[in-house]
Amino acid sequence: MTEVRETPIPGCVVVGFHRAHDDRGSFERAYSADELAEVGHGFWIVQANVATTTRAGTVRGLHYQLAPYGEQKLVRCVRGAVFDVAVDLREGSPARGRWFGIELTPENGLAILIPRGCAHGYLSLLPDSQMVYFSDAAYWPAAERVLAAEHEETGIVWPIPVVESSAKDAAASRTDRPEWSGY
C-alpha cells in the first residue's frame, strides 16, 4: 500500500510505495493511479521523462509552467541521489514562497508529488544520478518559467554547493520576484 507524508506545502506530498523483498531482490510500484487516488492524490500520466545528471553538484530547475499549462509531477530517483525541491508559487496559498526539500535515492524508494503552481528542481548529490518524472500534462515550452535555484527570497539551503546548471537556469534572476504561476 502507498504511504503518503504531508509537507509544509499543501498538495506536495512524499510518497512511499510498498517494497517487497525476496532472494531475487525487490519489487515495488513506481506509480499507481488507484493507490494515489485512495489517499487523495491521484492523477493520470500523460508524459513520462527520464533525466540523467552526470556530475554531482548540478542543479536542474527550478522549473514551472504558467496556468493553464501547469503540470502535476510525481518524481523519483532511480540511480544515485538527489536533493529534490518544490517552491510554492500559487496565489492565495498559505505556503506561497516557501520551499520543501528531501533527499531521494533508490534505496529510500521515496517519490515526491509536486502540485501545479509549484516550481520544481533538484541538485544531484552523486555522479550519474537518474530521475524519472511522471506528469499529468504535456510540456509547453512557451509557458515554462525558471526560478533561480539560489533565489534570494526562497532561501533554499542546498546540502552541497551548486557547481553547474544549464545556461537557461543560470540566467534566471536571483533577485527578481518570480512570475506567479496563476494557480
What CATH number does residue 68 fall under? 2.60.120.10
The overall pTM is greater than 0.85: yes
Question: Which domain, by its residues, includes 71?
Answer: 45-170
State pLDDT tens for residues 127-136. 999 999 999 9
How far is residue 62's CA from residue 69's CA, in Å, rounded to a whole number?
16
Number of domains in the chain: 1
Choose the catalytic residue: 63, 64, 120, 122: 63
pLDDT at 12 over 90: yes
How far is residue 182's CA from residue 30's CA, in Å, rounded to a whole number?
30
How far is residue 127's CA from residue 118's CA, in Å, rounded to a whole number?
26
Domain presence at residue 31? no
Domain presence at residue 74? yes
Task: Please confirm, yes or no, whether 63 is among the known catalytic residues.
Answer: yes
Domain presence at residue 3? no
Choose the catalytic residue: 64, 69, 122, 133: 133
Query: Closest Cα partner for 124 from 154, 144, 145, 149?
Result: 149
Domain presence at residue 2? no
Task: Please confirm, yes or no, whether 183 is among the known catalytic residues.
Answer: no
Domain presence at residue 175? no
Domain presence at residue 12? no
